[in-house]
């Protein structure tokens, strides 16, 4: 952080310092840590904070991307670019069972798709490499059950989260102790909001996937959402047609499950201005959260990030 003439730190400086403290503390206490890297804006910020936390030393952990083979093409291109830029070790895991069964969001629906590729895939990867601590970019403002999750969140040997039996977390003292097979998920961005993330990206000039910026893109209106036709695996229904619209994404995931929003925001200034006057939350574009109230809590109990 730049030396300040004033003695009072801004809220972003405080959030940055808190996140760095959390990342360093987790690494100091873990045996085999990993950072979940989902290519989105939160992952970009988390990765940037990790570089700051250990500068001039290299990152003391690899990145793990749990790939579903259904991410936007631009996300995968961006992933390669960033890994190269940062000089990080990247592990990519694709659930072999899903490949074999051809699990996809169109035939199997969003919940089977997400459970098999992401939840089960993540568990497989954590077990395979024996990671005992995994960083995630989740924020408490995203969803109600997240709002109650600890920064250091304990998982049983079956990766289960027990929301009613969480360890109390006081001051800035974190308890990462766990038994064999058990693990800890750590969320350095717990106290950040979507706006904080974008302000920080703007201030620190952190690279993000271009899909966040508005551009004319081929989209189909389906179930009330604008789905981008990212490749020919997307089959059009009878009454559907591809339209060219000026859209951007507030959140990124599997392209058939991620709704675009119509927007004219072609740069960070535009996005920030849009956010200051926003009327819908970012998770609105996520199909998986609409499966019913409490759906995220249920997924998390089952081991979803």
Nearest residue (CB) to another protein, 91 versus 195: 195
Please identify, using beta-carbon distances, which residue of 52 and 245 lies nearer to another protein. Answer: 52
Q: Nearer Cβ to another protein, position 4 or 130?
A: 4
Identify the CA nearest to 257 among candidates 225, 233, 219, 218. 225
Residue with tokens 């997924």: 299
Output 124 or 193, the one with its CB closest to another protein: 193
Kindly give the pairing relationship between strand 133-135 and strand 183-186. parallel
> What secondary structure, in 3-state letters, does the chain show?
CCCCCCCCCCHHHHHHHHHHHHHHHHHHHCCCEEEECCCCHHHHHHHHHHHHHHCCCCCCCCEEEECCCCECHHHHHHHHHHHHHHCCCEEEECCHHHHHHCCCHHHHHHHHHHHHHHHHHHHHHHHHHCCCEEECCCCCCCCCCHHHCCCEEEECCCCCCCHHHCCCCCCCCCCCCCCCCCEEEECCCCCCCHHHHHHHHHHHCCCCCHHHCCEEEEEEEECCEEEECCCCCCCCCCCCCCEEEEEECCCCCEHHHEEEEECCCCCHHHHHHHHHCCCCCHHHHEHHHHCCCCHHHHHHHCCCC
Could you tell me the smallest distance in angstroms from the CB atom of residue 220 to another protein?
21
- Considering beta carbons, is residue 77 or 269 the nearer one to another protein? 269
Nearer to another protein, 2 or 235 (CB): 2
- The answer to whether residues 149 and 141 touch, using CB atoms and an 8 Å cutoff, is no
Nearer to another protein, 10 or 130 (CB): 10
The CB-of-121 to another protein minimum distance in angstroms stands at 25
Compare residues 12 and 242 and give the one whose CB is closer to another protein.
12
């Amino acid at each position: 952080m730049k030396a300040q003439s004033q003695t009072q730190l801004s809220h972003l400086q405080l959030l940055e310092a808190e996140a760095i403290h959390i990342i360093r503390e987790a690494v100091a206490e873990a045996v085999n840590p990993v950072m979940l890297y989902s290519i989105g804006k939160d992952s970009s910020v988390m990765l940037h904070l990790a570089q700051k936390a250990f500068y001039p030393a290299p990152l003391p952990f690899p990145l793990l991307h749990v790939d579903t083979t259904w991410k936007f093409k631009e996300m995968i291109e961006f992933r390669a670019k960033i890994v190269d830029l940062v000089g990080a070790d990247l592990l990519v895991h694709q659930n072999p069972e899903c490949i074999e069964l051809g699990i996809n969001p169109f035939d199997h629906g969003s919940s089977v798709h997400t459970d098999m590729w992401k939840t089960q895939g993540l568990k497989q990867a954590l077990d395979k490499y024996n990671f005992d601590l995994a960083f995630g970019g989740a924020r408490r403002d995203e969803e109600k059950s997240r709002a109650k999750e600890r920064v250091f969140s304990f998982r049983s040997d079956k990766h289960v989260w027990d929301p009613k039996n969480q360890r109390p977390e006081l001051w800035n003292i974190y308890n990462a102790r766990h038994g064999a097979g058990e693990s800890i998920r750590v969320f350095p961005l717990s106290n950040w909001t979507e706006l904080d993330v974008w302000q920080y990206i703007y201030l620190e000039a952190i690279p993000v996937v271009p899909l966040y910026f508005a551009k004319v893109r081929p989209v189909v209106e389906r179930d009330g959402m604008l789905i981008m036709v990212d490749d020919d695996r997307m089959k059009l229904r009878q009454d559907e047609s591809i339209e060219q619209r000026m859209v951007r994404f507030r959140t990124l995931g599997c392209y058939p499950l991620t709704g675009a929003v119509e927007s004219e925001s072609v740069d960070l200034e535009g996005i920030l201005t849009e956010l200051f006057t926003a009327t819908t939350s970012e998770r609105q574009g996520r199909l998986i959260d609409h499966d019913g109230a409490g759906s995220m809590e249920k997924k998390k109990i089952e081991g979803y990030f």
